């Protein structure tokens, strides 16, 4: 999976369009002051939880090891008294389960506190922004994009980032089915005679349909209609008319379809064609674009945005590690904002 958290830096320079800073107010001073306060708050909040989780896991492992060793010694020294070592083993398993439940609860508390702290970071960057780690775009939105023709029966995702009416999320779409096949099996009897027969077997097949970043943003066309740009290997949608654009680069790499040729040429102005190709050059994949029903849908296969990771078990929470989370969130917001700014029909 290709990460694009740093692409926002390139978007600033390559597209050369005005964009509000991700941090409000006087960017340098407020960014330093606000970021410092957020990092201090994060360390003071998360480190005690991580330390408690680490202690619980260490206690669980230590107790389980000591109890197991005790039960083994009882088995060796008193093999005629199985009740003794069975009792010790049972009590050890019960207490180990209790300690395991405690460590899982502490880990969940740490992750929840991390998500809450990260939400505060994102709101400081933009009051309209929010991140829901366990949510994604609806299946209806993915179908409405007209960017997928394959059948699928499994749909899921995470990291739903929204800024106003613009949003993006990580999607995983698959088609899972059971395939039946036959194999030839041979059997040999006691006399050495070999017989063959067909044996029916089944296996689960997983066909990836889409795995990557899905973006939706408001983008009304000058005239109501549909304009879709898909890689040439995928071809056009059957209900659309193929059009040639003024950009030879897009024409050579994309199949451009429109509900009406006039609408397509009117929407794909020279400035928008340049912005679309610049976007294509900046991302580590070949994206697809669909202008439909006043919205722009973009799919970026095998691509992801990073929002940082919760603290690990053994490494203490430090300002430097949380700073990377802040940078990742800032880059993700800038990426979505710049996409909205530059891919809007002019």
Residues 55-100: pLDDT tens digits?
Answer: 888 877 776 666 666 666 666 766 666 666 666 666 666 666 666 7
* CA 189 to each of CA 192, 193, 194: distance values in angstroms, whole numbers, following the listed order: 5, 6, 7
Share of the chain above pLDDT 90, in %: 65
User: Which region among 152-166, 203-217, 235-249 has the lowest average model confidence (pLDDT)?
Assistant: 235-249
236-245 long-range CB contacts below 8 Å, 24 or more apart?
A: 237/146, 237/149, 243/268, 245/273
Give the burial class of 253: count Cβ atoms within 10 A of its Cβ; 0-12 exposed, 13-18 middle, 19 or more buried: middle
pLDDT over threshold 90, residue 10: no
pLDDT digits (tens, 9 = 90+) for 238-291: 889 999 999 999 999 999 999 999 999 999 999 999 999 999 999 989 999 999
| Range in 73-77, 151-155, 210-214 the model is least confident about | 73-77
Over residues 195-212, the mean pLDDT reads 93
Q: How far apart are CA 220 and CA 312, in angstroms?
A: 44
Residue 62's pLDDT is 72
The whole-number pLDDT of residue 74 equals 62
The sheet with strand 295-301 has its strands ordered as 129-132, 154-163, 166-188, 194-218, 295-301, 288-292, 227-231, 254-258, 241-242
Alpha-carbon span 153 to 150, nearest angstrom = 10
User: Which pLDDT band holds residue 197 (cuts at 50, 70, 90)?
Assistant: confident
The pLDDT of 305-334, averaged and rounded, is: 92
Which range is least confidently modeled, 20-29, 72-81, 91-100, 197-206? 20-29
**pLDDT at residue 92 in the model:** 65
Q: What are the helix and strand counts (H, E) for the chain?
A: 8, 11
pLDDT of the residue at 33: 81
Looking at every residue in the chain, the average pLDDT score rounds to 85
- Average pLDDT score over residue span 7-23: 42
What is the per-residue pLDDT across 101-120, written as a single tens digit (0 to 9) for each?
888 899 999 999 999 999 99
Q: What is the pLDDT of residue 142?
A: 97
**CB-CB contact of 288 with 147 (8 Å):** yes
pLDDT at 237: 80
Pairing label, strands 227-231, 241-242: unpaired
pLDDT tens readout for residues 126-144: 999 999 999 999 999 999 9
Grade residue 18 by pLDDT with cuts at 50, 70 and 90: very low
């Amino acid at each position: 999976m290709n990460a694009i958290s740093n692409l926002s830096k390139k978007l600033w320079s390559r597209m050369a369009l005005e964009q509000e800073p991700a941090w409000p107010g006087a960017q340098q001073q407020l960014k330093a002051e606000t970021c410092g306060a957020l990092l201090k708050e994060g360390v003071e909040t998360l480190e005690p939880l991580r330390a408690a989780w680490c202690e619980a896991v260490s206690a669980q492992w230590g107790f389980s090891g000591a109890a197991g060793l005790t039960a083994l010694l009882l088995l060796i020294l008193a093999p005629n008294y199985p009740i003794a070592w069975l009792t010790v083993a049972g009590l050890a398993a019960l207490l180990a389960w209790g300690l395991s439940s405690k460590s899982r609860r502490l880990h969940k508390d740490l992750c929840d506190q991390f998500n809450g702290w990260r939400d505060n970071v994102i709101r400081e960057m933009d009051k309209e922004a929010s991140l829901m780690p366990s949510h994604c775009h609806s299946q209806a939105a993915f179908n409405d994009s007209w960017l997928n023709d394959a059948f699928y029966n499994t749909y899921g995702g995470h990291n739903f980032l929204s800024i106003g009416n613009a949003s993006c999320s990580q999607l995983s779409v698959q088609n899972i089915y059971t395939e039946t096949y036959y194999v030839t099996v041979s059997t040999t009897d006691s006399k050495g005679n070999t017989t063959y027969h067909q044996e029916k077997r089944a296996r689960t097949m997983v066909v990836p349909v889409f795995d990557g970043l899905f973006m939706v943003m408001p983008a009304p066309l000058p005239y109501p209609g549909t304009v879709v740009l898909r890689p040439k290997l995928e071809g056009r949608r059957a209900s659309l008319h193929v059009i040639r654009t003024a950009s030879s680069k897009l024409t050579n790499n994309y199949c451009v379809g429109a509900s009406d040729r006039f609408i397509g040429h009117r929407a794909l102005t020279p400035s928008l064609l340049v912005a679309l190709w610049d976007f294509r050059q900046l991302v580590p994949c070949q994206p697809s674009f669909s202008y439909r029903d006043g919205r722009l849908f973009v799919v970026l296969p095998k691509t992801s945005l990073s929002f940082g990771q919760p603290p690990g078990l053994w490494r203490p929470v430090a300002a430097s590690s949380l700073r990377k989370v802040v940078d990742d969130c800032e880059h993700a917001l800038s990426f979505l904002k710049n996409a909205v700014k530059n891919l809007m029909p002019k």
